[in-house]
């Protein structure tokens, strides 16, 4: 008699055999970029959950809080002048996020994670438009696993935010 366990084992063996045949034909290699992209997404989420924003992140959160508490345009301008050596626009966008979703470290971490994902998405879109889908997948799988962007994104650094505009500018220039 054949038990249910035997059927499941046979099905698993057939699946592995089919997978091995695909690998021998080189068909499996096309899925590597997807694996790396999913890995990058998971690592970015884990990094956002496990890492509390330190110097850069807390600074931008502090300035965003100042913008949030400003009552007049003059106060906002005064705050911007005080911190003019830093990316004030980043803090301003973060203050809009706080106005909508409330002020908290968790809210800021979610904002930093979304910016991190958006920079990867615009990178993929730009490279797909310029170089085709296969090249875009390969380049995005490398981009999303870059440690400085992954860890820096969870720290609240401005790098991912700036990359959105730099990539969009280069994309527009290439397309023009």
Residue 72 backbone class (left: φ over 0; alpha: ψ -120 to 50; beta: rest): beta
Q: What is the pLDDT of residue 3?
A: 47
**pTM for this model (two decimals):** 0.77
Distance CA 39, CA 36 (A): 5
Q: What is the pLDDT of residue 2?
A: 45
Q: What is the pLDDT of residue 27?
A: 61
Comparison of pLDDT for 46 and 21, the residue scoring more: 46
Using pLDDT thresholds of 50, 70 and 90, give the confidence band for residue 128.
Answer: very high
If we measure between CA atoms, which residue out of 60, 41, 33 comes closest to residue 162?
60
Comparison of pLDDT for 32 and 166, the residue scoring more: 166
What is the mean pLDDT of the segment spanning 157-175?
90
Whole-number CA gyration radius for the chain: 22
pLDDT digits (tens, 9 = 90+) for 68-93: 888 777 777 777 777 766 778 888 89
Q: How many CB atoms lie within 10 A of CB 152?
A: 19
∠ Cα 41 42 43 (to 5°): 90
């Amino acid at each position: 008699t054949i038990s249910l366990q035997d059927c499941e084992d046979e099905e698993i063996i057939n699946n592995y055999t089919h997978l091995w045949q695909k690998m021998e034909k080189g068909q499996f290699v096309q899925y590597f970029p997807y694996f790396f992209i999913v890995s990058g997404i998971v690592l970015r989420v884990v990094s956002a959950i496990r890492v509390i924003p330190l110097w850069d992140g807390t600074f931008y959160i502090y300035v965003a809080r100042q913008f949030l508490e400003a009552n007049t345009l003059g106060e906002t301008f005064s705050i911007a002048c005080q911190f003019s050596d830093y990316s004030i626009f980043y803090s301003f966008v973060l203050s809009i996020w706080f106005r909508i979703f409330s002020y908290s470290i968790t809210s800021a971490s979610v904002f930093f994670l979304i910016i991190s994902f958006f920079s990867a998405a615009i990178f993929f879109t730009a490279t797909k438009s310029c170089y085709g889908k296969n090249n875009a997948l390969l380049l995005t799988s490398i981009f999303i696993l870059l440690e400085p962007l992954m860890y820096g994104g969870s720290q609240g650094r401005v790098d991912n935010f700036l990359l959105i505009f730099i990539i969009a500018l280069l994309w527009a220039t290439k397309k023009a």
